[in-house]
Amino acid sequence: MTLMTSSNASTQYVEAGGVRYAYRRFGNTNGGLPLLCLQHFTGTLDNWDPAIVDTLSADREIILFENAGVGRSGGAVPASITAMAEHVLQFVTAIALSKFHILGYSLGGFLAQEIAIAKPDLVERMVLSGSAPEGGKGAGMDRPELVAIYTDAQMPMQEKLKRLFFPETPEGKQAAEAFVNRLASRTGEADLPANAEVAPAQLGAMIAWANWPGDVARKLATIPHPVLVTNGDNDTMIPTRNSFVLAEGLPNATLIIYPNAGHGALFQYASTYVAHVREFLRGA
């Protein structure tokens, strides 16, 4: 029997609320609770690093979710973080997922927080990597130097990922090259790239999230779940200080900051990151 991994797992579909969601599901069904993975800005199912999700799949089932309007999922791209989170909840209901962990990377971490507040009984533990609380400074990712990369039609996607996720150091460049090579290892049907509607809608939602005028500490205090917060020490996309705010405000948080790394610290330190996540989720 062929071992199912992120590289060969088929893309599955389920319809809920009039939207056809694309997802991939693989891993140890006899292990711990499933891990629902929520993706970064404009990311698709093909943007999950095999070095992370395949290793974690030895312990538990991995579910890679694609939100409405992204990749092969149908429907319109949601214009707010709340709406994105509601799509996730429609999806987990449709596949009868009653209890799970969440790995929320970047934008996915915003959704994870909303889900934990809206439906706390569904979530056991969360990993928030390269993310921010609502009202987090700089979390809108709308700084000119970033927008210039997002909108550069001549720059290949692989180059954008290298520029945005990794530091301009010899070690960072080596990690970036290894990361994009791992993404290219998929042998199954490729996902569709994010279309032109995805970036503006998601960026607008992230800007609104960052500009929220509410009480950040009060909101975070309503999330009692165990949370692992991770980031690089120099995240230029969602500034690292937001990870400290998360760790300080969440009642049951553990913070890990990886040295000489940026937004893609989880990819740069993939084996170490996986060890930390496995330990955090162990037995649950």
Residues β-bridged to residue 63: 25, 36
Question: Angle formed by the axes of helices 198-210 and 81-94, to 10°?
Answer: 110
125 against 153, higher pLDDT = 125
Q: Which helix (H) or strand (E) holds 66?
A: strand 60-66
Give the C-alpha separation, 74 to 87, whole Å: 11
Beta bridge partners of 232: 258
Mean pLDDT of 25-49: 97
Is 6 in contact with 24 (CB distance < 8 Å)? yes
Mean pLDDT of 23-27: 98
- The closest of 123, 136, 108, 155 to 247, measured between CA atoms, is 136
At 137-179, the pLDDT tens digits run 999 999 999 999 999 989 999 999 999 999 999 999 999 999 9
DSSP-derived pairing of the beta strands 12-16 and 19-27: antiparallel
Look up residue 43 and give its DSSP letter. Answer: -
**What's the pLDDT at 274?**
98
Which domains does the chain carry? Answer: 12-282 (3.40.50.1820)
d(CA 251, CA 224): 6
Predicted local confidence at residue 162, as pLDDT: 96
Q: What is the pLDDT of residues 183-206, one digit of tens each?
A: 999 999 999 999 999 999 999 999
pLDDT at 153: 87
pLDDT of 2 = 59
Question: How far apart, in Å, are the Cα atoms of 41 and each of 67, 85, 225, 270?
Answer: 11, 14, 24, 20
